[in-house]
Structure 1
C-alpha cells in the first residue's frame, strides 16, 4: 500500500544543540520520503499552533469580504506577483472546467497588504517568519541527503528568505475554496493536476481534506490532514538540481463528499520556497543529461505566465 510517510523533526527542533548523527538520520528520512512519493508529513516542526490558527482565522475574514472590496487588491502579474486572485483567474490546467478558488500572494520583497482587513497581512507574515527556520533546516537536510560538501549549499542560494535586497519569487500564499452546492459531484477536480515550481513547498491544511498525491506507480494517494503536522513536497527546481533524485510530485485537489455535506469552505496556506532569482540551477548529481540549466526567475515566470487567465 502506498502512503505519505510521517517524518518526526524533533531531533532538529527539540534542542539547541543538534548532533551530526541527528542531522544525518533526519536527512535520510526526508530523502526516503521525497525521493519516493515526494511528500512527507512533518511532525514536531517547531511552529506554534497559535500562529497557524491566527493566520487561518485572519485569512478567512479577508476572503469573506465583499467582492468589490477584495478586487481593490486584485493581482496583475504584468506588474507584480503580489495580491488577490479571484475565482477563475488562475488555471493550473488549460483543460480545467472547475477550479473555483481564491488566493492572496505575498511574493518577493515588495509586499502589498489589503487595507480592508488590518490583521490579515501581519498574521500571514508572522507565520511566514515562523516558517523560515524550518525551511532553512530542511534545505540543509536536503544538502546532507545528497552528500554535498556544503550543507548550506541551498541556503546560501536562497538568501532572499531573509535579505530584502535580494530578489526571489518565494511566495507565501493563502487559499480559499468557497463552499459549493450539491450540483457538484464528489470527486470533481477542485485544483488541477500540477507540480510546484520551486525547491520545496510547505502546506498548512485545514481539516477538510481533498488533496491527492500521484505516487510512483501513478495512483492517486489521499493526503488527508493529520493534526499537528505540515505537509512538505518537492518542486521543479529541486528535481532539476538533484538530477531527478527528487522528482517534482504531481498533486491535485478534489472535492470530497465531506465538503459537500458540511457546506463549508476549504482553506490552506502554502509557502513556495524558491532560490534567489539570479541563481542558475543545473544538476548537482544524478542524471544530468536530462536537465538544462535554467535561472530560478525565468523558470518561475514561464510557469506563472501560463497559469493566469484574464
Structure 2
C-alpha cells in the first residue's frame, strides 16, 4: 500500500522567544512518561494533586506528540485564519448566543474587553468538536480532517484520560472515577480550538490597560494548551499577583476549569488567568494558539464527589447554593452565552461578577 501524502499547509513561523526579564510563575512539570504503572501513577498523582489544589496550573511533558508533529498542528491551526475568505468565515460562525456552543468561528470584535472604554477584542478562533462530523467546515480545512480528528482523540484519550486518572487518585478514588464520565464517543462538547490574537491600536491598549482577554476561569473540566513562544498568558496567584506563564518547547500547559472545581468540591482550583499585550520585543506579532477544551459528558452532574475520603476529611468549599445542581451541558451553555457579552457588577474588592446559574457567579478581573 502506498504511503498517504499529507495535504500541504503553509508553514507557520512563530515569533522569536522574548528576551525580556519577566516575572514567571513557578509551575510544576508533570512527566507522563512516568505514569505507565499503577505505582508510578500513584506517585505522580501527588504532584498533580498539589498542583491543582495550589496553583491550578501545571506543565505536561512527554505527552505523545513529537516536536515535528506539534509544528504540523500549528501549521494546520493557521489555515482557518489565512486560507479562508472573510465571507466564507461568516458562513461558519458559531451559535454562541443561540445554542451556547463554540463550534465554528468566533470572529474578531465579538467580546467586550472594556465596557467603560467600548473596546472589543481582536481575537479570532475556530473550534472543532471532537466529533468532527457534527457540523460543516470551510473547504480549506476539509483536507486536514483526518489529522484534526486524530489530534482530538489523542488529546482526549491519551492526555485528558491520563490526567483524570491522576486527579481521581489525588482524591483517593478509583482511577476510572472521572474517566468514565469523559467518553470520546459520548455526547459532549470537548473541542479543538485554533486561536489567533492580532495586535491592537495603542488607543485600545491604553483604554484596557493592555489587557487582551480579562481575567477569568475556564468552564470545562480542564484546558490543554500547546505552549507557544509569544508571552501573554498570566495567572493570578493566591497572593493576588499576576505572574507570566513561561514557554517550554513542546510542552503542554494544563489548567483546571469550573467543572473540575465543582466536582472536587473546591479542592482543585479553577485559577483565574488572563491574556495581556506581549512584551516590547514581541509586539507586532500575531499569537497563534492550539487548545483542547475538555468537557465532561453532557449529562454529568457537577455535584461534588462526596465519596472521596479527601473531601470527607477537608470538607466541601465549592458547590451550588440552592436548587438543582446543573449538568455539564447546562453550565457550559450558560457560560458560553454570557462570556464577554453581558455586563458585570463590581463587588466590594473590585472583582467583577456575573451570575450564571443557581447562585454561582463567574468572576472577571480587568
TM range (shorter): 0.7 to 0.9
1:287 is aligned to: 315
Deviations 1:23-78 (A, max 9, x none): 11111111111111110011222223233222211221320233223222112232
Q: Secondary structure at the match of 2:240?
A: coil
Give RMSD over aligned pairs. 2.5
For 1:120-199, list aligned pairs within 5 A.
Answer: 120-132=144-156, 133-148=158-173, 150-159=174-183, 161=184, 163=185, 166-180=186-200, 185=205, 188-199=210-221
Query: Does structure 2 conserve the Cα–Cα contact (< 8 Å) formed by 1:103 and 1:175?
Result: yes
Residues 1:60 and 2:78 are matched in the alignment: yes
2:272 is aligned to: 250
Residues 1:231 and 2:259 are matched in the alignment: no
1:36 is aligned to: 54
User: Cα gap change, 1:63/1:147 in structure 2, threshold over 3 Å: closer, same or farther?
Assistant: same
Rounded to whole Å, the distance in 2 between the matches of 1:23 and 1:154 is: 15
Equivalent position to 1:301, from 306, 309, 333:
333
Query: Does structure 2 conserve the Cα–Cα contact (< 8 Å) formed by 1:143 and 1:152?
Result: yes
User: Cα gap change, 1:289/1:2 in structure 2, threshold over 3 Å: closer, same or farther?
Assistant: closer
Deviation at 1:170, TM superposition (A): 1.5
Structure 2 unaligned regions, length at least 5: 1-23, 306-310, 343-366
TM-score, length-normalised on structure 1?
0.87
Rounded to whole Å, the distance in 2 between the matches of 1:8 and 1:205 is: 15
**Which one has the largest radius of gyration?**
2
TM-score, length-normalised on structure 2?
0.75
Deviations 1:91-146 (A, max 9, x none): 57866834210011123641432113444544433322221211111000000111
Deviation at 1:276, TM superposition (A): 0.6
Q: Secondary structure at the match of 1:169?
A: coil
Deviations 1:197-236 (A, max 9, x none): 1111101132112000111111111012111210000010
218-227 or 86-95, which moves further after superposition? 86-95
Equivalent position to 2:66, from 45, 48, 51:
48
Q: Secondary structure at the match of 2:119?
A: coil
Query: Does structure 2 conserve the Cα–Cα contact (< 8 Å) formed by 1:26 and 1:141?
Result: yes
Rounded to whole Å, the distance in 1 between the matches of 2:114 and 2:216 is: 7
